[in-house]
Structure 1
C-alpha cells in the first residue's frame, strides 16, 4: 500500500455474478445493436447456479464444467460460444470500467476448450429445384415468390430484406426512381452499412411491387418469411433447404459469374475472406466447362 501498487479485491469478492449481470444489463447492453438478444443470454446466465457465486471465485474450471454441461444438454456450439463471449466481456468490463482491476477473466482460461463451430452448410439449389420452388411460391401467393427471387439476386440476409425501404433505393434519376440500380442497407448484422448493386432481375422484381404507404418494400416479418418458405418447399417436395440457404446460393452464383472474392464480400457484407469462402460453394459440374 505504501508503494501504491496494492489492488483491492473487496468489490470483486462481494459482487455476485447475478449482480454483475444486472449492472451489465443496465449499463452496457442498451448500447448494443440488438439488446433484446443479449438480454436473453443474460437471463440464461442468471438462471445458472454459478450466478450465485462472487466474481472473484469463478475460475476456468467452472467455465470448462459449464461448456461440458451445455454440450450434454444438446446446446449448439455457436450458442455456447455466444454465451461465453458475453461473460468474457462482462469480466473485462468489470476489470477495466468498474474498478475491479484484480479480477481475472475465467473465459480466457478455456480458449482451447471452446466448442468448434460445425462445418458450414453447403446446400444449394439442385437440378430443377429453382423452377419448382418458384412455381410453388406462385401457387402459394403473396410476397414469398418475389422474396425468393430477390434473395437469390441480392444475397441479402432475411432481416435486411424485411427492413428494406423505398427511400434506400437509388439510381440514375435519384432516390426512389423506377430504374434504381443500387440499394443502401443502413443496418446490417456486422454493424457496417453497405450499398449493393442490383441485377436486372432484381430491378424487375421491384418494379412489379406495389408501393406501401408505410415506406417499407415488403410487408412480411423475418419469421413470417421463414414460415412461408418452409410451406413452399414442402409443397414443392424440396427437402433440407432453408431461406438462409438462398444467401449461399446467391454468393456462389456471384463467384461463378466471375466476381472476385473482395467484390462478393462487398455485396454480401462479409468481413473476412474466410466467411466468403464459407458462403461460396462451387459445383464441380459447373466448373467442368472451364477446364481444358
Structure 2
C-alpha cells in the first residue's frame, strides 16, 4: 500500500507491499509523488515475489557472487573476472543494492568516459546489466528493476580495420625469431596462416594435428563447438620446425606470449598492431583467395555472419586485380 506525506517543502512517497521491502522517494510536487506510488505499486504487484531478501547486501557482494557463480564458468573468464574485481574496489560497490538507482551508474559512466574509451565503458555497463538481470530473474533478488536497464550507453567500439602489411610481416617475424623463446616466431606465422584465436593456438596438442592430411582439430572452442582447420603448405612447414618435446604444440603461457609479442612488435618498429589482428588478417586473406562466407565461417568458427564481416577487411588492390581479370 502506498502513501504520500508532506515533509517540509517536499512530498515523501512510500510504498509497502507484502513480500517486498519498503520503497521511499521524495518529490517537489505532490502529483509526481502520487504518480510514482501508482507506478511502483503496479510494477511490484505484477512481479513475482523475491526469493532472496537483499537486505544489507552491497553491490560488492553481488559482483563477487556473480564472478564466482557465473563468470568463472565462462570461456575466457579472466577478463570479465578482472573487471568485476576492479569494480568491487570502486566506491559505487559500497552502496547497498536497495539504494542503487540509475543515477549512480550515470555518474559511473561519466567518470569512466574521462578515463577510458567509450567502447570500454559500453562493455562494462553491459556487464552490469547482465549482473542485475541474473540477480533479479535467475536468483530472485528482491529488486523491483534493473538500475542499468534503461541507462543511455556510450557508443560501442568501432570494428578494427588494421591489417598486417607485407613489410611489417617480414620485420615482425625477424624480431620474433630473435626472442629467447623459440616458439614466438612460429606462433605468429601459424596465426597468420590459420586465423586461430590465441587461446586455440595455445591449447593445440600434437595429437590433434594431422600433418599428413593437413588439418588441425580444435575442441571446446570459444563458441562451444569443435571444428577442423585446414593447414596450408606453409603452415605445415612451420609445424615441422617446432620441437615435438611436449604434449602441447606451443607449450607457453598466454602471459609469456603477450610479453614476447609486445617486445617483438616494439623491436620491429610496428605500432597499433594487436595479436588478434593476425586473425583479422587471416580471415581477410581467406576471402581474397575466393572462399565463400560459409567456407570461411567453417574455418574461423564464426556462428554469426555479421560478426564474421567485422573481421573482414579486403585489400582493394587484390579486389581490383580480380575485377580486371573479368
Question: TM-score, normalised on structure 1?
Answer: 0.83
Q: Which has the larger radius of gyration?
A: 2
Asked if the contact 2:64/2:85 (under 8 Å) is kept, the reply is no
Distance 1:102 1:159, change over 3 A: closer
Q: Which residue number in structure 2 is paired with residue 175 of structure 1?
A: none
How far apart, in 1, do the equivalents of 2:20 and 2:318 lie?
A: 65
Shift of the 256–34 alpha-carbon distance from structure 1 to 2, 3 Å rule, reads closer
1:134 aligns with: 173
What pairs up with 1:124-163 in 2 under 5 angstroms? 124-140=163-179, 142-163=182-203
**Structure with the larger RCO, 1 or 2 (CA within 8 Å, 6+ apart):** 1
Match of 1:197 among 221, 230, 233: 230
Is 1:56–1:103's contact at 8 Å kept on the other side of the alignment?
Answer: no
Alignment match, 1:179:
212
Matches within 5 A, 1:66-105: 66-72=108-114, 74-100=115-141, 102-105=143-146
Shift of 1:13: 5.0
- Equivalent pair of 1:7/1:102 in contact (CA under 8 Å): no
User: Offset at 1:221?
Assistant: 2.1
CA distance 1:133–1:193, change in 2 (3 Å): same
Larger deviation: 7-16 or 215-224? Answer: 7-16
- Structure 1 residue 248: deviation in Å? 1.2
Distance (whole Å) between structure 2 residues aligned to residue 125 and residue 39 of structure 1: 31
**What residue is the counterpart of 2:34 in the other structure?**
none
> Higher mean Cα deviation, 243-252 or 123-132?
123-132
1:166 corresponds in structure 2 to 206
Matched with 2:58 is 16
C-alpha separation in 2, matches of 1:229 and 1:151: 12
Q: Say yes or no: does 1:63 pair with 2:102.
A: no
Q: How many residues align?
A: 278
- State the secondary structure of the residue aligned to 2:149: helix
Q: State whether residues 91 and 103 of structure 1, in contact with CA within 8 Å, keep that contact through their aligned partners in structure 2.
A: no
Aligned with 1:280: secondary structure? coil
Q: What residue number does 2:251 align with?
A: 219
Residues 270, 22 of structure 1: CA spacing in aligned structure 2 closer, same or farther, 3 A cutoff? Answer: same
Tell me the residue number matched to 2:155: 116
Deviation readout 1:119-178 (Å, 9 max, x if unpaired): 2222222243333333444444622222222111100122221221112224xxxxxxx4
Shift, 1:247, TM fit: 1.2
The 1:23–1:287 alpha-carbon spacing in structure 2 relative to 1, beyond 3 Å, is closer
Is 1:271 aligned to residue 303 of structure 2? yes
For the pair 1:233 / 2:265, whether they are aligned, the reply is yes
Distance 1:258 1:85, change over 3 A: same
> In the alignment, is the contact (CA less than 8 A) between 1:17 and 1:50 conserved in 2?
yes
Deviation at 1:256, TM superposition (A): 0.1
State the 4+ residue runs in structure 1 displaced beyond 6 angstroms. none
Contact 1:9 1:100 in 2 (8 A): no
Higher share in strand = 2
- Which of 244, 252, 256 is the equivalent residue of 2:276? 244
Q: Structure 1: where are the runs of 5+ without partners?
A: 171-177
Calculate the TM-score normalised by the size of structure 2: 0.75
- Separation in structure 1 between the aligned mates of residue 262 and residue 92 of structure 2, nearest angstrom: 39
Unaligned stretches of 5+ in structure 2?
A: 2-16, 23-52
Q: In structure 1, what is the equivalent of residue 73 of structure 2?
A: 31
